[in-house]
Amino acid sequence: MGEEAASAERGIPQLLMSNTLVLNGALFLGILALHTLLEDSTLNNNWVSVALLVMALALLIKSADVFIEGAKGLAYRAGLPEVVIGLTIVSIGTSLPEILVTSTAAADITPTTREIGDLAIGGIYGSILVQITLILGVVVAFRGVKVRPSWLKRDGFIMFSSIGLLTIFLFTGDGLSRVEGGVLASLYVAYIYWLLSHRDEILEEELSGGPKVERKLNRTTASYGFMVTSGLLLALFAAHHLVNVASEMAYSFNVPHAVIGTTVSGLGTSLPELTIAFLAAKRSQGVAIGTLIGSNITDPLLSIGIASMVHPLALTDASFALTAYIIIPATFVGTGVALVMMWSQYEFKRWEGVVLILIYVIFLAALAAERTGIIAL
């Protein structure tokens, strides 16, 4: 049986012929081709930029998915408990687009391009808002979801507190310093350490009355290692182009970088969470909520923490009012409403999902009203 199982495992040659790797390769070549076309002044650069933005988002999402699958495979090989994999690898993996986009944006900041910092900050708040309102709303509207009380007492409180601490750091002093970024990242490490140290208790709770997840190991260790390496490298490549084209589009259309970060980047980088949460809602109760809460702890602590350690982040005058009076309040309102709904009989009803979606729609309407001058900040 062992020899048959080993012979059934697919190696790197089979992996290279898989649809996902072929698609990632095609997206990689397509981005290179479009980047070359952007240098041709005879073409409509706006349409080329839009196409490049879409392809960069697609490659970022697909490569992050490859990274997650490879990391899970290696974790299974190492014999890690399922709950540890979910709370660490999946949480960080689904937030990989946000981590890469914010860090890449921070690395590209120069004295003349400080607006890119608005993209990084807006991307984090936008990702949190999208996940806790639009994505959670879609999942709940599709199928009502029950919530474990312990998640609210532990992870729900940590999520809200993390967003609050990030906001305090952002509006005190000159923005997020490297030291403050280190504090945020260290708090995330401490959170993960606490989870690992209590993994037996958490595992017992998670498995009580729930279905066991089958561990599928259909690839070799070398294949999983290749998936981790290639997924990370392609995600870095895609994130770099995503930041560049989003910044150029913001300049071209005279749109604040914070708006691009909150909408295009925030929504795009949250697609892995949407996919995993939506599929999880079909299989087990509460897993979808845990995926989104876990990611919303990773983003305001680890993602922005790493970025601000790469380069200090601060809002520019062009995006300060928009971020302070619309984006951040909307994030707190959306998060607060979602947590209150969770406390209600520890269950999300379908109509509550519709309410969460409406909150995001109202947020988009507020952004549009500010851009058209209906709301003056």
Q: How many helical (H) and strand (E) elements, i.e. helices and strands, does the chain have?
A: 22, 2
Query: Is 151 a domain residue?
Result: yes
Residue-level pLDDT at 284: 47
Which residue type occupies 305? G
SS3 325: helix
User: Are 171 and 313 in contact, with CB atoms under 8 Å apart?
Assistant: no
Tens of pLDDT along 346-362?
A: 777 889 999 999 999 99
Tens of pLDDT along 303-337?
A: 999 999 999 999 988 889 889 999 999 999 999 99
Query: Is 303 a domain residue?
Result: yes
Evaluate if residue 6 carries a pLDDT over 60. no
Per-residue pLDDT band at 168 (split at 50, 70, 90): very high
- Report the mean per-residue pLDDT for the chain: 80
Cα angle: 112, vertex 113, 119; to 5 degrees: 160
Query: Is 71 a domain residue?
Result: no
pLDDT average, residue stretch 209-213: 52
Residue-level pLDDT at 25: 92
Query: Is 224 a domain residue?
Result: no
Query: Is 144 a domain residue?
Result: yes
Alpha-carbon distance of 176 to 19, in angstroms, equals 41
Per-residue pLDDT band at 16 (split at 50, 70, 90): confident
Query: Is 39 a domain residue?
Result: no
Q: Crossing angle of helices 96-107/45-77, nearest 10°?
A: 130
Alpha-carbon distance of 277 to 285, in angstroms, equals 11
Alpha-carbon distances of 263 from 55, 120, 268, 371, rounded to whole Å: 17, 12, 8, 14
pLDDT average, residue stretch 126-133: 90
Structural domain for 302, as ranges: 83-216+239-371
Neighbour-count burial of 349, counting CB atoms closer than 10 A to its CB (0-12 exposed, 13-18 middle, 19+ buried): middle
Neighbour-count burial of 69, counting CB atoms closer than 10 A to its CB (0-12 exposed, 13-18 middle, 19+ buried): middle
User: Are 327 and 126 in contact, with CB atoms under 8 Å apart?
Assistant: yes
CATH number at residue 262: 1.20.1420.30
Residue 216 structure tokens: 């599928």
Backbone angles phi, psi at 3, to 5 degrees: -70, -40
Evaluate if residue 363 carries a pLDDT over 80. yes
Residue-level pLDDT at 212: 53
Query: Is 233 a domain residue?
Result: no
In total, how many domains does the chain have? 1
Q: What is the pTM of this model?
A: 0.74
Return the minimum-mean-pLDDT range out of 4-8, 225-229, 292-296: 4-8
SS3 237: helix
Tens of pLDDT along 247-280?
A: 777 767 777 777 777 776 666 667 666 666 665 5
Query: Is 198 a domain residue?
Result: yes
Handedness of CA 368, 371, 374, 375 (dihedral sign): positive
Alpha-carbon distance of 21 to 352, in angstroms, equals 39
User: Are 70 and 227 in contact, with CB atoms under 8 Å apart?
Assistant: yes
